[in-house]
Structure 1
Amino acid sequence: MTAKRPPPDPAKLARAKEMARAAYENMTDEKDDAITAAALSDPDTPLLEEVLERNERRRLGRPPLPRTKRSVHLRLDQEVIDFFAKDGPGWQTRINAALRRAAGLK
């Protein structure tokens, strides 16, 4: 278990916000262009297209299914739910498999 980080000092946080706001308000087009040029010339700074491509390849969560499923509201007897839920998570998938078998599908 990781230790919780203490909350930031309100005075330091206010000062940091003030400094950021001042830097933003004092930003000229020339300074912005210089910062952009420096970032683009830095070999360790990826281009936006590269970041987007990397994120596209590395999606979080489950991979997409070859066949999408549709959410429906279905009323079932409590005994049916208990039967499938007794084995833990995945009970809805097990009900779907049982229905597919009953319908003669794959």
Structure 2
Amino acid sequence: MKKESKTDWPRINAMRDEDIDLSESPELNETFFKDAVVWPAQKKQITLRLDPDVLDFFKSQGKGYQTAINKVLRRYVEAQKHH
């Protein structure tokens, strides 16, 4: 990690399972798994040529623009699979 963790790891490691608050965790029912996304292998670094206006649009959205481009492409791929 580039930044030092601010997590109190000794406290976390000392916790018992029953001490963990899961009230905000989603219920792992059939619907959860039906809608789950199977994560592909590790991402690959490539060179990709984009139109300047397309790149400018994503960069204008702020930090994480490369992730946003990947999400858009993933949605396109999924739509094509169901088409």
The TM-score normalised by the length of structure 2 is 0.46
Q: Which has the higher helix share?
A: 1
Larger Rg: 1
Structure showing greater relative contact order (alpha-carbon pairs closer than 8 Å, 6 or more residues apart): 2
The TM-score normalised by the length of structure 1 is 0.36
